Every structure is written in structure tokens, then in C-alpha cells.
């Protein structure tokens, strides 16, 4: 069966970033690896501006995301903005490919990048490009290769080298379990998934899809209902569910319907566990009670979507925080790839589960808050705290 790799979300792919100076051949290499014209190729310096990305299948790794970035030595009018975008790609890069033109000298910008890559513990492949030129060959050290996008020389070898680096560092790419360690064969999993004005038309949201798939992979029995059908579902079941997982926004209703002896949690809290932010998010809840009038809270979502009446990020979460604290607070909001590196103005960061972000990006955001001593917590935990069931919701996933 052919794998539908295009249906794999970005957050579940291995992210491979290509970095180097202008005209070093990054775009040509990505086009050669992808087998199609992903990036514009030109001799004009600064052709690649914002990062370009391409999803594809790279065996034996599987689904990957390739990133083409602007030149490190960009000296155009927008050079600082382009360099910033290039370095932002590092935040979610799992494997870095440093591209150096065959006859190019190692520059300070290369050393600066390598220092940053090393600090982030990102495995790196060094590629000497344009090896069809009649120039002396660099001495190859470590995971390095001399290639030509023009002749195709060593393009397949480069794919194999990237796969080799992946295999050598595979432990770093192994995700935390979603629910696979919480259920077993024939476990009964009851999912509560509201279909309201915020639900995407014709589908359900990614955490719900992933949870259903994880339950099926574990050969568990998975039942999905809307909140309005929850009471009827519980009455009709011949046995007690082993776990109930709900949309965090429905906690207020679901907690009163599901008996205390049944483990209850939310998709958002499961995602915090899956992305490695559970412990820090739980600890961050303590900061809610310490907020003072005039403090600023950052609410960050990893995806972008059209805001609607009753939006969780901009309406329901601020309301929940005000309910918990009783304080007059300021709120700021970010979505998608936007996340400020200077967090000094914030007294708390409340983040979504991060289903659309890969583990590397979530690790970066979590660590950034830790380095700057800014408390960090999760959408689902705030909503659970507002309903007085935080410990119950977290205990269900431990």
C-alpha cells in the first residue's frame, strides 16, 4: 500500500533544515532531493527570502519536512529580518544540513551557525556543493559529502547519509506515548468531542484523530460521543470505561457526569504529555494564584485559524484565568510559528497542546520560558483548574 505521506501533519514529521550562504546551492539540493522544483533557483543573491518548506517521504526515515532558508551572509536591505527567519527554522530543526560551496572558505557566519546548532544538540550533515566544478575537493570529515545538483552526483548518497544520521540519533526522535501505555487490548476508551461552532467543518481536530488512532493501534475499544450523548452512552455501556477523554472546554459538564472512580482527562493534557511539557505545565499552574492586577499573560496557539465567537484562546481561557485569579490582567496572543524570544514582560505563558508543532519546537518554547524564569502551563490544565479537577485530570495520565 502506498503511504499517503502528505496527510501526515507537520508536527509528526522529522524536520530537516538546509542552511548556508547565499548561492551555496541549498535550493538546488532541495529540488534534487525532492525530485521537483520546490525552491526558485537563480544566480541572483538573495533569491530565497522567507523559508520554503516541502513535505515528502524520505526512506527509511518516513515523512519529513525539508526547509530551504535564506543565505546566512544576506546583505540586502532585509538581511536582518531574513537572518531572523533563518534562525527561527532552527527552533524546530531535527537534522541540520550545512551547505558549503566546494571552493568556499569557512566564514564567521558558518561558525556562528555551527555553535548554535551544537548548543541545541541538533545532529548535522555537512554538504560541499557544486562538486561538478573543477576545483580541489574539501577533506571530508565526519558526516560530510561532496555533491552536485547539476549532475546528480551523490544525491542518493546524501539521502542515505541523512537517514544514517537519523538512525544514529533515533532515540531523540522517539515520541512520548499518547495513550498507548494507558490502555491495552480491549480497554474501553470513551471520547467526548463537541461538534459546535468552533469545530472544523466535515472533520474533527487533530488531537482527537491522533487519540482515536492510538487507541486503535493498541486494539482498544474506542467510542466517540458529543457531550449531549454522554449520559446515554454511559448508561448503555455494559462495563465502565477505562478512561474518559474530553475536549477541555467541556470539562464543566463532563466532570459532573463521569463518576469519580473513572479516570478523566482532556486531549490538551494528553498532548502536553505527548510533547514533553506535562510536568512543567502542571508546575506552572501554581503561578496562576500568584498573578497580580496589571500582570500580562501570553496565550499561545501552535496553529492558525479563523477566530469565532467563543474562541478558546482569546475568549474562554482569559475568562477562566480571571475566574481563578479574580485579578484585572492583560492578555497577549500568538499563533502558528510566532512565539517571542523575549518573555520578560509576561508573568505566565499558557500554551496549547502543540499538536501542529513538532517536539523540537515545543522543547524550545518550554526551555525558553524556563531559562527566563517565566511560568509555563497548558490550555487543558487551566480549564481543569477552573473546574476544580486539575489533580484528577493529571492523575489520569500518570
Q: Does domain 279-393 have CATH number 3.40.50.11410?
A: yes
- Three-state DSSP string of 317-376: HHHHHHHHHCCCCEEEEEECCCCCCCCCCCCEEEECCCCCCCHHHHHHHHHHHHHCCCCE
Separation of alpha carbons 353 and 209, rounded Å: 14
Separation of alpha carbons 107 and 84, rounded Å: 18
Measured N-to-C along each axis, helices 379-386 and 317-325 cross at an angle, to the nearest 10 degrees, of 50
3-state helix, strand, coil in the chain (%, to 5): 40, 20, 45
Domains 5-173 and 188-270 share a fold: yes
Q: What count of other Cβ atoms lies within 10 Å of the Cβ of residue 388?
A: 12
- For residue 62, give the H/E element and its range: strand 62-68
Is residue 145 helix, strand or coil?
strand
pLDDT in tens, the chain (398 residues): 234 445 567 778 899 999 998 888 898 899 999 887 665 554 545 555 557 888 889 888 989 999 999 888 766 654 677 778 888 899 999 999 999 988 777 888 889 999 999 999 999 999 998 887 765 666 666 788 999 888 888 999 999 999 999 988 876 767 788 999 999 999 999 999 998 666 667 778 889 999 999 999 999 999 999 999 999 999 999 999 999 999 999 999 999 999 999 999 999 999 999 999 999 999 999 999 999 999 999 999 988 754 554 588 889 999 999 999 999 999 999 998 889 999 999 999 999 999 889 888 999 999 999 999 999 999 999 999 999 999 999 999 99
Determine the topology of domain 188-270 in CATH.
Rossmann fold (3.40.50)
Runs of H (alpha helix) within the chain: 26-34, 79-90, 108-119, 155-168, 206-217, 230-236, 251-257, 267-274, 278-284, 317-325, 359-371, 379-386, 390-395
Separation of alpha carbons 245 and 263, rounded Å: 8
Separation of alpha carbons 66 and 13, rounded Å: 10
Q: What count of other Cβ atoms lies within 10 Å of the Cβ of residue 276?
A: 15
Kindly list the domain boundaries of the chain, sorted by start residue.
5-173, 188-270, 279-393
Q: Hey, what's the cell of 259? A: 463518576
Length of the chain (residues): 398
**Residue 158's closest CA among 120, 195, 135, 128?**
128
pTM for the model stands at 0.85
| Cis preceding linkage at 60, omega within 30 | yes
CATH class of segment(s) 5-173:
alpha beta
| Beta-sheet pairing, 221-225 with 264-266 | unpaired
DSSP-derived secondary structure letter, 173: G
**Residue 78's closest CA among 106, 109, 47?**
47
Amino acid at each position: 500500500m502506498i503511504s499517503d505521506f502528505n496527510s501526515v501533519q507537520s508536527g509528526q514529521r522529522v524536520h530537516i533544515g538546509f542552511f548556508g550562504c547565499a548561492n551555496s546551492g541549498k535550493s538546488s539540493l532541495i529540488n534534487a532531493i525532492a525530485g521537483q522544483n520546490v525552491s526558485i533557483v537563480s544566480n541572483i543573491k538573495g533569491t530565497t527570502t522567507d523559508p520554503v518548506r516541502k513535505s515528502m517521504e524520505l526512506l527509511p526515515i518516513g515523512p519529513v519536512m525539508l526547509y530551504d532558508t535564506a543565505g546566512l551572509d544576506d546583505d540586502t536591505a532585509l538581511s536582518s529580518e531574513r537572518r531572523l527567519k533563518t534562525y527561527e527554522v532552527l527552533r524546530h530543526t531535527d537534522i541540520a544540513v550545512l551547505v558549503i560551496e566546494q571552493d568556499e572558505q569557512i566564514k564567521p557566519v558558518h561558525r556562528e551557525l555551527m555553535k548554535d546548532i551544537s548548543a541545541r544538540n541538533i545532529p548535522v550533515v555537512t554538504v560541499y556543493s557544486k562538486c561538478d566544478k573543477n576545483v580541489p575537493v574539501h577533506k571530508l570529515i565526519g558526516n560530510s559529502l561532496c555533491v552536485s545538483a547539476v549532475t546528480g552526483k551523490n544525491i542518493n548518497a546524501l539521502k542515505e547519509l541523512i537517514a544514517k544520521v537519523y538512525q544514529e540519533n533515533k532515540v531523540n526522535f522517539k515520541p512520548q506515548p499518547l495513550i498507548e501505555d494507558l490502555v491495552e487490548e480491549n480497554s474501553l476508551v470513551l471520547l467526548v468531542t463537541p461538534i459546535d461552532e468552533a469545530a472544523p467543518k466535515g472533520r474533527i481536530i487533530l488531537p482527537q484523530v491522533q487519540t482515536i488512532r492510538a487507541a486503535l493501534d493498541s486494539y482498544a475499544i474506542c467510542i466517540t460521543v458529543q457531550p449531549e450523548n454522554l449520559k446515554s452512552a454511559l448508561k448503555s455501556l455494559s462495563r465502565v470505561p477505562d478512561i474518559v477523554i474530553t475536549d477541555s472546554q467541556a470539562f464543566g459538564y463532563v466532570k459532573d457526569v463521569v463518576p469519580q472512580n473513572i479516570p478523566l482527562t482532556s486531549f490538551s493534557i494528553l498532548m502536553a504529555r505527548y510533547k514533553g511539557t506535562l510536568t512543567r505545565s502542571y508546575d506552572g499552574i501554581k503561578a496562576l494564584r500568584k498573578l497580580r492586577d496589571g500582570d500580562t499573560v501570553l496565550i499561545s496557539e501552535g496553529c492558525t485559524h479563523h477566530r469565532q465567537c467563543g474562541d478558546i484562546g482569546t475568549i474562554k481561557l482569559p475568562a477562566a484565568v480571571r475566574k481563578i485569579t479574580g485579578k484585572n490582567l492583560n492578555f497577549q496572543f500568538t499563533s502558528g510559528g510566532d512565539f517571542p524570544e523575549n518573555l520578560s514582560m509576561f508573568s505566565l505563558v499558557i500554551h496549547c497542546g502543540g499538536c501542529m508543532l513538532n517536539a523540537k519546537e515545543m522543547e524550545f518554547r518550554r526551555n525558553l520560558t524556563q531559562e527566563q524564569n517565566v511560568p509555563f502551563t497548558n490550555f487543558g490544565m487551566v480549564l481543569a483548574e477552573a473546574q476544580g479537577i486539575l489533580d484528577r485530570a493529571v492523575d489520569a495520565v500518570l
